[in-house]
Amino acid sequence: MCGIVGYVGRGDAVASVLEGLKRLEYRGYDSAGVCFKSEDNTLNLYKKQGKLANLKRALVGVDHFSHSSIGHTRWATHGEVNDLNAHPHLSDTLTTSEMISIVHNGIVENAKEIRDELKGQGFSFKSDTDSEVFLALVQREIRNLSESEKPVVAVCRAFKYIRGNSAFVVQGRNFPELIAVKRGAPLVCGNSDNRDDILVSSDPYALAGVVNTLFFPHDDTVTVLHSSNDVGSMDPVIEFFDLEGNATTGFDTKQQLIDVTTTDKGEFEHYMLKEIYEQPKLIRSLRDYYFSPEGQEMLKNSQEFKPERVHITACGTAYYAGLGIKTFIESIDNIPCQVDLASEFRYRNPLISNKDLGLFISQSGETADTLAAQELCKERGLLTAAIVNVEGSTLYRKSDNNLLIKAGIEIGVASTKAYTLQVLTGRLFSNAMAGKKLDKVLGERFLLLADRISDLLAKVDMIKEIAEEIYNYKGYFYTGRGKYYPSALEGALKLKEIAYVHAEGYAAGELKHGPIALIDEEIVNIAIIGPELYEKTLSNIEEIKARKGVIVGIGPEGDDSAKEICDYYVPLNFKGLEELSPLYVNVANQLLAYYMAKFKGTDIDKPRNLAKSVTVE
Ligand code: AGP
């Protein structure tokens, strides 16, 4: 969702903010802006619809050297995509003490109510955003400050009016510090070791390479970032307060784990492709990690879990990973398991009890719906566990137990490696919950999966050729049965999000109950033919074929009868992979989606309308 970067310090603030915003491009955005303070303290605003390049163009020829700047990449929620609705928002009051600018990530749920109240008090609004109400609220509270009160008090007072999950950073003409505040939205800050650069952002990645120790303020904590130009060498450059203005320890500290040098695309044209190719190595290192004493320690708690039921909640790809993990929990642990879309879970008054376990799956650990589901489970007294990639994320911090998927940073908006590692971590979790030790057989199966994926990647041209043949059809059905059904759903999601074509994942046997009406020679069926329910799957394919649908089979190697009924065929060696084989199939789906999108010429790493981490409900 929206990306925030703020800088105060001795260096070039705008350059640092632009670099941070560039790093946050992967999260998805539709406009970008910066506000910087010039030597005479005036606040200068530049913001543009579209890519960061548009903003940079607008800054050409502008003297933007500054020691204080805030910047933003916007993913529109309230108000259409245009320059005016882009952030930062800057007050146009003539009273210099009230001249402030703000950036915002999240949704102000009571924006209309506040806007109406403030209009009645003479405030006017330039944009259609919910964010601008916070700007006006802070202005009003600055106006009402007593002489001895500092601007941070105004920010605290203004924030108390805000409902919903939001993070803001405020910059003021009349005060040197940046003031940040948050509830339910990610925020992180830190300073360089020499204290010259002080940064705040919505994502630790923006701080990588500059800040080693990260501070994550808790909800309702206000963070004040002082410029090293303005404080003495012993004074803190970052301070934390509660909403009453008292100093607080309401923050977590963590070492920066992201190394910028490992995050370039290298020889790959897109991050998505790079991340697909990383999978064999990551599977091997996940296995090594969980076989090591540190990994065993992480799994230890899971061995104590004896829940009556497990409730998995997640969104998108992570939800499909949850469907895969459900099959492990039910077959290995013999525990009933339900998988819910996090956006629906809390609104259906779920029947959950404090004897159950709430399991949350998320790459980012910042998905608002998943966090809300977690909160509900906590309120109802459930023990919680998370399968998560980003250590230190909100989900991670709020879970009673965590299992890290160790995927490294995932930059492609379309999740690939995270899915594979989520499902594998779920496999390890179900093993531990069943009270089993990690055995050689399971370890070897992980290694076999890594090897098979490597072999498939080496034969990528075969998939590329199929992609070239089929990328221009009208619609696509991904079908699978049993344990391959989640792979069908995930395959269709991948294609939709990066190739912008209609695709649906279906249980193969369900097509004849309705969607088969859509089948004709312009529809492609990507049919997963697993070793189980084999004959029934082939009959389902025949039904599509009889209606002239084009068939791409992904099925057993050396199987001529399967190959014969398909127009195109991706042979896979399923032997020995057992319950892990859907992940092998899924890599074929990832490659197919990637190359179809490439033939279509879409923006694969930053698909339109999408955000990497969905921090609004
Ligand atoms: C997957 O390709 C997505 N872009 C999306 O569905 C994603 O999986 C979902 O938003 C959940 O994100 P999370 O794993 O960070 O919680």
- Would you report the helix, strand and coil content of the chain in percent, each value rounded to 5? 40, 20, 35
Do the beta carbons of residue 357 and residue 383 sit within 8 Å? yes
pLDDT at 259 over 80: no
**pLDDT value of residue 339:** 98
Q: Give the number of the atom of ligand 1 that is nearest the alpha carbon of residue 363.
A: 14
**CATH T-level assignment (fold) for domain 3-260:** Glutamine Phosphoribosylpyrophosphate, subunit 1, domain 1 (3.60.20)
Angle at CA of residue 176, ends 175 and 177, nearest 5°: 100
**pLDDT value of residue 230:** 86
pLDDT band at 255 (very low <50, low <70, confident <90, very high): confident
Q: Give the number of the atom of ligand 1 that is nearest the alpha carbon of residue 414.
A: 2
- Residue 175's DSSP bridge partners are 172
Mean pLDDT value across residues 480-499: 97
**pLDDT value of residue 302:** 87
- Judge whether 612 counts as a catalytic residue: yes
AA letter at 473:
Y
Do the beta carbons of residue 21 and residue 32 sit within 8 Å? yes
- Residue 252's DSSP bridge partners are 216
pLDDT at 171 over 60: yes
Pocket test for ligand 1, best of 317, 370, 602 (most atoms within 8 A of CB): 317
Predicted confidence (pLDDT) per residue in 454-482, tens digit: 999 999 999 999 999 999 999 999 999 99
Cis ω before 88 (30° cut-off from 0): yes
12, HSE (Cβ side, Cα atoms, 13 Å):
9
For the packed helices 581-600 and 485-499, what is the interaxial angle rounded to 10 degrees? Answer: 20
Secondary structure, 3-state, 490-532:
HHHHHHHHHHCCCEEEEEHHHHHHCHHHHCCCCEEEEEECCCC
Give the distance (Å) from ligand 1 centre to CA of residue 313: 12
9: region left, alpha or beta (phi > 0 left; psi from -120 to 50 alpha): left
Do the beta carbons of residue 370 and residue 344 sit within 8 Å? no
Q: Give the number of the atom of ligand 1 that is nearest the alpha carbon of residue 395.
A: 16
Pocket test for ligand 1, best of 27, 205, 367, 490 (most atoms within 8 A of CB): 367
77, HSE (Cβ side, Cα atoms, 13 Å):
20
Nearest residue by C-alpha to atom 6 in ligand 1:
316
Q: Where are the alpha helices (DSSP H) in 144-278?
A: 151-159, 271-277
**pLDDT value of residue 262:** 66
Give the distance (Å) from ligand 1 centre to CA of residue 96: 43
Do the beta carbons of residue 107 and residue 165 sit within 8 Å? yes
Give the distance (Å) from ligand 1 centre to CA of residue 548: 34
Nearest residue by C-alpha to atom 5 in ligand 1:
316
What are the backbone angles phi and psi of residue 427, rounded to the nearest 5°?
-65, -40
- The whole-angstrom separation of Cα 615 and Cα 576 is 40
- The whole-angstrom separation of Cα 11 and Cα 129 is 32
AA letter at 441:
V
Secondary structure, 3-state, 98-114:
HCEEEEEEECCCCHHHH
Nearest residue by C-alpha to atom 9 in ligand 1:
316
CA pseudo-torsion sign 547, 552, 554, 559: positive
Mean pLDDT value across residues 81-104: 86
- The whole-angstrom separation of Cα 375 and Cα 314 is 13
**pLDDT value of residue 93:** 63
List C-alpha distances in Å: 160 to 138, 399, 473: 11, 26, 53
Domain at 264-458, CATH from 3.40.50.10490, 3.30.70.260, 3.40.50.300, 3.40.50.720: 3.40.50.10490
60: which 2 tokens? 């050409």
**pLDDT value of residue 16:** 97
Mean pLDDT value across residues 502-524: 94
Q: Give the number of the atom of ligand 1 that is nearest the alpha carbon of residue 413.
A: 4
Mean pLDDT value across residues 157-170: 96
How many CB atoms neighbour CB 246 within 10 A? 8
Do the beta carbons of residue 375 and residue 385 sit within 8 Å? no
Nearest residue by C-alpha to atom 16 in ligand 1:
362
Q: What percent of the chain has pLDDT over 70?
A: 99
Pocket test for ligand 1, best of 202, 359, 363 (most atoms within 8 A of CB): 363
**pLDDT value of residue 95:** 61
Q: How far is CA 24 from the centre of its chain?
A: 11
Mean pLDDT value across residues 486-493: 98
Do the beta carbons of residue 215 and residue 238 sit within 8 Å? yes
Give the distance (Å) from ligand 1 centre to CA of residue 316: 5
- Judge whether 156 counts as a catalytic residue: no
List C-alpha distances in Å: 589 to 140, 269, 491: 54, 18, 5
Q: Of 48, 274, 417, 612, which residue is the catalytic one?
A: 612
Predicted confidence (pLDDT) per residue in 30-43, tens digit: 999 999 999 999 99
pLDDT band at 94 (very low <50, low <70, confident <90, very high): low
Give the distance (Å) from ligand 1 centre to CA of residue 251: 26
For the packed helices 417-433 and 581-600, what is the interaxial angle rounded to 10 degrees? Answer: 170
What are the backbone angles phi and psi of residue 189, rounded to the nearest 5°?
-145, 175
Predicted confidence (pLDDT) per residue in 42-82, tens digit: 999 999 999 999 999 999 999 999 999 999 999 888 889 99
Predicted confidence (pLDDT) per residue in 520-560, tens digit: 999 999 999 998 889 999 999 999 999 999 999 999 999 99
**pLDDT value of residue 98:** 75
pLDDT band at 261 (very low <50, low <70, confident <90, very high): low
Q: Write down the residue that tokens 């259409």 correspond to.
A: 80
Secondary structure, 3-state, 426-437:
HHHHHHHHCCCC
pLDDT band at 407 (very low <50, low <70, confident <90, very high): very high
- Residue 278's DSSP bridge partners are none
224: which 2 tokens? 């004040």
DSSP state of 357: E
Q: Give the number of the atom of ligand 1 that is nearest the alpha carbon of residue 416.
A: 2
Domain ranges of the chain: 3-260, 264-458, 460-602
**pLDDT value of residue 264:** 80
368, HSE (Cβ side, Cα atoms, 13 Å):
18
pLDDT band at 97 (very low <50, low <70, confident <90, very high): low
Give the distance (Å) from ligand 1 centre to CA of residue 320: 10
Q: Which residues line ligand 1 (CB under 6 A)?
A: 315-318, 362-364, 367, 370, 413-415, 497, 610, 613-614
Mean pLDDT value across residues 6-23: 96
Predicted confidence (pLDDT) per residue in 374-398, tens digit: 999 999 999 999 999 998 888 998 9
Nearest residue by C-alpha to atom 10 in ligand 1:
316
pLDDT at 217 over 90: yes
Give the distance (Å) from ligand 1 centre to CA of residue 452: 26
DSSP state of 188: E
Round the CA-based radius of gyration of the chain to a whole number and report it: 26
Give the distance (Å) from ligand 1 centre to CA of residue 78: 22
Q: What percent of the chain has pLDDT over 90?
A: 84
pTM: 0.86
Nearest residue by C-alpha to atom 7 in ligand 1:
316
Q: Give the number of the atom of ligand 1 that is nearest the alpha carbon of residue 367.
A: 16
Nearest residue by C-alpha to atom 4 in ligand 1:
414
Q: Give the number of the atom of ligand 1 that is nearest the alpha carbon of residue 317.
A: 8
**pLDDT value of residue 518:** 93
- The whole-angstrom separation of Cα 344 and Cα 346 is 6
Pocket test for ligand 1, best of 270, 359, 405, 415 (most atoms within 8 A of CB): 415
Query: 264-458 and 460-602: same fold?
Result: yes
DSSP state of 304: H
Mean pLDDT value across residues 219-239: 91
Give the distance (Å) from ligand 1 centre to CA of residue 611: 9
Domain 460-602 has CATH 3.40.50.300: no
Residue 124 exposed, middle or buried by CB count within 10 Å (0-12, 13-18, 19+): exposed
CA pseudo-torsion sign 294, 259, 75, 472: negative
Whole-number average pLDDT of the chain? 94
Q: Write down the residue that tokens 């350059």 correspond to.
A: 15
Do the beta carbons of residue 455 and residue 581 sit within 8 Å? no
For the packed helices 485-499 and 316-328, what is the interaxial angle rounded to 10 degrees? Answer: 170
- The whole-angstrom separation of Cα 90 and Cα 75 is 18
